[in-house]
């Protein structure tokens, strides 16, 4: 597998690494308002200049969160600039990299302008930064996080090890998140909605009846340990039981002992209504040669 494509400065330090002095100011002549706060390291931009980024890993924005943030913004303003990049598709637009919730709340608060920091980032860096920002804020649900990891692996040749280094997560954490992607759609929906937890979902991986168990979790409010026990019991109950061996009658047992004494080797006789078999067990090749000799005719041929 080839190494990750972009080899610029790694982003494992998080979003704070992008809020230093390496910002790109909007030239005054390119803003409708003409406002440019160079001394603070960011610019002010009309909200209509900003658009959703297609690489945003977060897909669920609770309206109550937006409303609460809008109320705060009305009282205190936006405390952290929105990170954007020039849109590859439209010269008059800027894609949001980090801060879409602030942008949505700013519109709900009827702000006409928002503070922004512009960075020239490629697609891989955009996805990395968006993941870092959302993970640090605990904004992503487990499935959104897993989809972001999968995108970095599939589209940018990352490995689980390289993601662990870049994103500051353990390899086992990333592996466990990725495993959630194999769950049935119905279980994924419950996880996305927050009806079940990532711990519940992880326990359901590989369960044949995961949908039914997920319904039990919701109905009975089961914790993760109870789910694990339920799955363990379900697997035991579903395993086919070995057929009970028919007990040998005294005559067969006596014949086994007689043959064992004659050959000097352990002999077993298995039988059924339609027939059976005789098993002679030997420990080495000398014993096998002796069995063959005993079964041979006078010409030395087995027959």
> Among all residues, which ones are annotated catalytic?
100
C-alpha span between 31 and 266 (Å, rounded)? 95
C-alpha span between 110 and 96 (Å, rounded)? 18
Query: Other C-beta atoms within 10 Å of 8: how many?
Result: 9
Burial 218-228 (b: 16+ CB within 10 A, else e): eeeebebeebb
User: Which residue matches tokens 């359901």?
Assistant: 204
Burial 113-133 (b: 16+ CB within 10 A, else e): bbbbbbbebebbbbbbbbbbb
Closest CA to 127 of 101, 156, 89: 156
């Amino acid at each position: 597998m080839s190494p990750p494509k972009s080899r610029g400065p790694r982003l494992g330090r998080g979003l704070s690494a992008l809020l230093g002095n390496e910002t790109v100011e909007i030239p005054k002549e390119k803003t409708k308002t003409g406002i440019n706060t160079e001394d603070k390291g960011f610019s002010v931009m009309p909200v209509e200049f900003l658009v959703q980024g297609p690489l945003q890993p977060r897909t669920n924005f609770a309206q109550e969160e937006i409303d609460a943030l809008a109320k705060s913004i009305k009282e205190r303003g936006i405390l952290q600039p929105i990170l954007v990049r020039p849109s590859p598709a439209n010269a008059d637009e800027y894609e949001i990299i980090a801060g879409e919730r602030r942008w949505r709340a700013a519109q709900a608060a009827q702000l006409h302008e928002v503070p922004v920091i512009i960075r020239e980032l490629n697609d891989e860096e955009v996805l990395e930064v968006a993941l870092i920002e959302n993970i640090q804020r605990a904004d992503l649900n487990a499935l959104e996080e897993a989809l972001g990891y999968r995108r970095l692996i599939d589209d940018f040749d990352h490995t689980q090890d390289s993601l662990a280094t870049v994103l500051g997560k353990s390899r086992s954490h990333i592996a466990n998140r990725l495993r959630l992607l194999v769950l049935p759609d119905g279980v994924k929906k419950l996880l996305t909605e927050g009806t079940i937890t990532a711990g519940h979902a992880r326990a359901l991986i590989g369960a044949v009846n995961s949908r039914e168990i997920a319904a039990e979790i919701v109905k009975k409010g089961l914790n993760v340990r109870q789910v694990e026990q339920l799955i363990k019991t379900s697997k035991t109950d579903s395993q086919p039981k070995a057929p009970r061996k028919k007990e040998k009658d005294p005559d067969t047992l006596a014949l086994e002992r007689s043959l064992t004494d004659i050959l000097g080797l352990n002999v077993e006789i298995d039988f059924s209504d339609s027939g059976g078999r005789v098993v002679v067990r030997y420990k080495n090749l000398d014993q096998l040669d002796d069995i063959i000799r005993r079964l041979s005719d006078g010409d030395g041929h087995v027959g």
